[in-house]
Amino acid sequence: MQVFNVQGMSCGHCVRAITQALQSKDPAATVRVDLAAKEVGVESRLSNEEVISLISEEGYAVKVA
């Protein structure tokens, strides 16, 4: 599982937005969001660049942890 640092997440809406964005491109993706740690764990066929792009498009600052 690849872990990304994501700034700006604060609620359930953030979790849903990120999860849906990633699963729209890879329906089999496993997404784990830790709001307190500001981390998103992703197990997916998507590249790191694709994951970063999709999360960024939702309005969050993201980088590989």
Which domains does the chain possess?
1-62 (3.30.70.100)
Torsion over CA: 30, 23, 62, 38 (sign)? negative
pLDDT at 65 over 90: no
pLDDT at 5 over 90: yes
What contacts 10, CB < 8 A, 6 or more positions away?
35
Mind listing the pLDDT tens digit for each residue in 33-50? Answer: 999 999 999 999 999 999
The distance in angstroms from the start CA to the end CA of the chain is 11
Q: What are phi and psi of 55, to 5 degrees?
A: -70, -40
Mean pLDDT of the chain: 97
- Percent pLDDT > 90 in the chain is 98
- What's the whole-model pTM score? 0.93
Contact 36, 2 (CB under 8 A): no
3-state class of 25 per DSSP? helix
Q: What is the pLDDT of residue 51?
A: 98
